[in-house]
Amino acid sequence: MGYFSLVLSLPSLLSSRIEAVTGVDPELRPATKPQFGHFQSNVALRLAKTEGKPPRQVAARIVDDLDLEDLCEPIDIAGPGFINLRLKSEVLARSVTEQLADPAVGVSQTARPEVVVVDYSAPNVAKQMHVGHLRSSIIGDCLTRVLTAVGHHVIPQNHVGDWGTQFGMLVEQIVTDGTDVSSLTLADAEALYTKANAHFKADEDFATRARQRVVSLQSGDPETRKIWQQLIDVSLAGFNQAYQRLGVLLTDDHLAGESTYNDDLEAVVADLEANGTAVTDDGALCVFVEGFNSPMIVRKRDGGFGYSATDLAAIRRRVREFGATRLIYVVGAPQSFHFDQVFAVARKVGFLPDNVSAEHVAFGQVLGADGRKFSTREGTAVTLDSLLDAAEEKAAPAIALAAIKYADLSNGLNKDYVFDVDRMVATIGNTGPYLQYAHARVTQVLRKAEADGLTSQDTVTVLPEPAEQTLALLLCRFGEIVAEVSETLQPHKLCAYLYELAGALSIFYEQCPVLKSEGEVRTSRLALCLGTKRVLASGLTMLGIEALDRM
């Protein structure tokens, strides 16, 4: 057997070997059933038409030309012409052994590293975070971790809502009441917000002063700015507390609120006008883009800027100053139209060159137990803290958090899902705690092994049992899965993989005694345990879930 590196991952190695013969991507997939081996390709069926030969004949020709003797058992042609591959046991063993020696646990660095901006969380100043922010924060954090793991330079951006007409009324309310902002909590600030809103509607005189406040704020009036800044400070303290509780990566370094684009807005307008894309219509500065039945309003009739303007400014900065070539927005599905339009306008005006991609990762709503929009009895949005509290009533904090995050990530992102605490914290079934348990249990085996002086855990040599082979096979697919998620931005694929891995570990655990076995079998199984633990830990970390050593 000649030397070959498996570091690239076994599936891609097989794939490239087959492509060398077929000339097209063999679309190698994990076998759908154990009796079909480890991997299957339908390439012969697809080639049959162009070659004008029966699929099985094409398959036979491919298999004849194929040189996989060093990796696979003799190749089967099955059914209408599927090519089924079964890896040699020693190849699988070696693959796991190499993964054990790899600090990246088999996750390879991308060949084309990019500067990627991930825009997520985006809470509003003077408001508590609610379910929508929970989803954005969890998903964005996961994407940040995955993209970083494959070697991209990720710049998280927290596009905090800190600049708009609502701050006029808020500041005016504070001035009217003589409130000491620095002593407020975020919940207090939100109550103040509600009060100001009602005041604004009921009192025309107050409303007028509130509008003047907006002008004062934007023109830099010191007193107004001071109060505004105090509101931000109070809010940030609350956000950071929430981030800490959630265990997400966001820090003050990633803050880039709407206000930070204020000075860029005139330049954005100038670019739009110079480019000829913006026109004044009904007093507002608009951009009409083909395919959209309504224009994007950049500047309102009253001269104020809407959020389209700050979003354009953000794109401009992210591309020109950060050098980003991929922009990712983790924002709820209702904003789809807005982002489609902003991206289209940004393309038209040249803020988004062809080599830069912009993606809206749209996520669905979190629904209440009744399947309707999740809100309190009073009809207000459910706060993030109250969700975490509810879960922590059922489980320890680390497990409760895992339950929530996994529930959020394990389904397709664009679907709504029901916030069902009991189902999420269950340790049976496809849940976060189940994965944590699998990790804790395999850790326990390794801990006992070390206590017994069994420290050799770095080489898998034999895989006599089917349960071991299944486990090894799954381990060697980890890198591919992570790479896929980094491209498609679908965390549920990583969840599904880890769940399958945890299940395979449980079966292995039932069927293959580790500490009670002996000699080479025991050494090999210990290494398999370590390999599984590392992949579980790595995968869970990418999901933002803590891999517990004990439960």
Partner RNA sequence: GCCCCCAUAGCUCAGGGGAUAGAGCAAAGGUUUCCUAAACCUUGUGUCGCAGGUUCGAAUCCUGCUGGGGGCGCCA
Q: Which of residues 45-74 bind RNA (CB under 7 A)?
A: 45-46, 48-49
In the range 228-247, which residues lie near RNA by CB under 7 A?
Answer: none
C-alpha span between 115 and 153 (Å, rounded): 5
Q: Which CB atom, from 77 or from 327, has the smaller least distance to RNA?
A: 77
Site string for RNA, 481-510 (x = CB under 7 A): ---x-----x-xx--x--x---x--xx-xx
Return the C-alpha torsion angle 136, 139, 145, 149, nearest 10.
-140
Q: In this complex, which beta carbon is closest to RNA, that of residue 25 or of residue 323?
A: 25
Choice between 21 and 115, CB closer to RNA: 21
Least CB distance to RNA at residue 542 (A): 17
Instruction: Work out how close the CB of 279 gets to RNA at its nearest, in angstroms, rounded to a whole number.
Output: 10
How far apart are the C-alpha atoms of 227 and 239, rounded to whole Å? 18
Q: Taking CB under 7 A as the criterion, which residues in 378-437 touch RNA?
A: 399, 410-412, 414-418, 423, 426-430, 433-434, 437
CA distance 367 to 501: 29
Q: Which region, judged by CB under 7 A, interacts with RNA, from 42-50, 144-152, 168-176, 202-210?
A: 42-50
443 binds RNA (CB under 7 A): yes
Main-chain phi, psi angles of 28, to 5 degrees: -65, 130
Region at 419 (left for phi over 0; alpha for psi -120 to 50; beta for the rest): beta
Q: At what angle do helices 519-543 and 478-488 cross, to 10 degrees?
A: 10
Closest CA relative to residue 164, chosen from 130, 192, 136, 124? 124
Q: Does 207 bind RNA (CB under 7 A)?
A: no
For residue 111, which of 146, 148, 150 has the smallest C-alpha distance?
A: 150
CB of 13 to RNA, least distance (A): 15
**Residue 327, strand partner residues:** 117, 358
Dist CA 114 CA 530 (whole Å) = 32
Give the range of 96-104, 133-141, 190-198, 281-289 binding RNA by CB under 7 A: 281-289
Q: Which of residues 524-543 bind RNA (CB under 7 A)?
A: none
- DSSP letters, 129-194, are -BHHHHHHHHHHHHHHHHHHHTT-EEEEEB--B--SHHHHHHHHHHHHHT--GGG--HHHHHHHHH
C-alpha–C-alpha distance, residues 493 and 543, integer Å: 11
Quote the CA–CA distance of 312 and 347 in Å, as a whole number. 10
- Binding of residue 164 to RNA (CB under 7 A): yes
Interacting residues with RNA between 170 and 189 (CB under 7 A): none
The distance of Cα 513 from the centroid of its chain, to the nearest Å, equals: 36
Of 175, 207, 265, 284, the one binding RNA (CB under 7 A) is 284
Q: Is 479 in the site for RNA (CB under 7 A)?
A: no
Binding mask 15-34 for RNA (x = CB under 7 A): ------------x-xxxx--
What is the pairing mode between strands 76-78 and 284-287?
unpaired
Q: Which DSSP letter does residue 108 get?
A: P
Size of the site for RNA (CB under 7 A): 94
Minimum distance of RNA from residue 414's CB (angstroms): 5
Tell me how far apart the alpha carbons of residues 113 and 55 are, in angstroms, rounded to a whole number.
40
Among positions 26, 140, 156, 161, the unique one binding RNA when judged by CB under 7 A: 161
Residue from 212, 444, 459, 461 touching RNA (CB under 7 A): that is 444
Is residue 304 within the footprint of RNA (CB under 7 A)? yes
Inter-residue contact 548 to 395 (CB < 8 Å): no
Nearest approach in angstroms of CB 479 to RNA is 13
Q: Which is nearer to RNA, 286 or 352 (CB)?
A: 286
In angstroms, what is the minimal distance from the CB of 268 to RNA? 15
Per-residue binding string, RNA, 95-124, x by CB under 7 A, is -----------------------------x
Query: Which range, of 2-10, 100-108, 386-394, 440-448, touches RNA by CB under 7 A?
Result: 440-448
- When binding is defined by CB under 7 A, the residue of 143, 196, 297, 476 that contacts RNA is 297
